[in-house]
Amino acid sequence: MSTESHDEGGDPACWLDRVCDACGRIREDPAAACPHCAAEAADGGAGNGAASAPRDAAPRGAGAARRRDRDAEGRARNARPRDGLGRPLPYGSPGVARQPEGVVREPAESLAEAQQLLDDGMPFHAHEVLEDAWKSGPPEERELWRGLAQLAVGLTHAARGNVTGAGSLLTRGAAALGPYADSAPYGIDVAGLVRWAGDLAGSLRGPVSAAAHAPRLRAAAER
């Protein structure tokens, strides 16, 4: 799936855009209405409008014809401002600047920058740094960086209070990292991150402090 298929940010690399804002579950098509909400509404459950288009989905009908936002290089990238946890705000609102897209960094730089953002309580912004590493790294490391990006997205949803979405992304990220546990490339504490993800996913009951729950990406000896 190409990033051209939707407008609101988030990338198939980390599944940020696949989490339904209404129910918190994963939907396969980020541009479509959530099938989980639709099924609940059809069953007479807690639909109450939950099957409507999610907040981050492109509008349908006449609204869908609005010109797609693009960055300076012409790539589709939503220009709506976002808050510190990456939630879209209305156009014209003050927001928190996003990380520049498409920056190629050395692995140690990616890890250091992402760690600082995590420590500052900005896991959404950390995910953007890790996503760049996913896109620019060698094929054999793609799941490593995607897994790290998914963990950052999981923490983003945990801080937003989306328990279901956070659990899904933390579980997926840990699974992607698992095969790298023996080699621990670049000093990444794979085993520790997998434990952290499981502990956080199992303990979530509501919103958490992103900074207080920030993981350590590298083992102490490597920092």
Interval 137-191: pLDDT, tens: 899 999 999 999 999 999 999 999 999 999 999 999 999 999 999 999 999 999 9
Asked if residue 204 is part of any domain, the answer here is: yes
Asked if residue 48 is part of any domain, the answer here is: no
Alpha carbon distance 53, 55 (integer Å): 7
Q: How many C-beta neighbours within 10 Å does residue 140 have? A: 9
Asked if residue 30 is part of any domain, the answer here is: no
Asked if residue 127 is part of any domain, the answer here is: yes
Q: What is the number of structural domains in the chain?
A: 1
Residue 126, SS3?
helix
Percent of the chain, pLDDT > 70? Answer: 68
Asked if residue 27 is part of any domain, the answer here is: no
Residue 205: CATH number of its domain: 1.10.3450
Contact at 8 Å (CB) between 85 and 210? yes
Asked if residue 161 is part of any domain, the answer here is: yes
Asked if residue 132 is part of any domain, the answer here is: yes
Per-residue pLDDT tens digits of the chain, which is 223 residues long: 333 333 334 454 455 666 776 676 766 676 677 777 777 666 665 443 333 333 333 333 334 344 555 555 555 556 778 888 888 888 888 888 888 888 899 999 999 999 999 999 999 999 999 999 999 989 999 999 999 999 999 999 999 999 999 999 999 999 999 999 999 999 999 999 999 999 999 999 999 999 999 999 998 766 6
Mean pLDDT of the chain: 79
Give the H/E segment covering residue 35: helix 35-42
Domain of residue 131 covers 107-222
pTM value is 0.72
Determine the number of helices (DSSP H) and then strands (DSSP E) in the chain. 6, 0
Asked if residue 49 is part of any domain, the answer here is: no
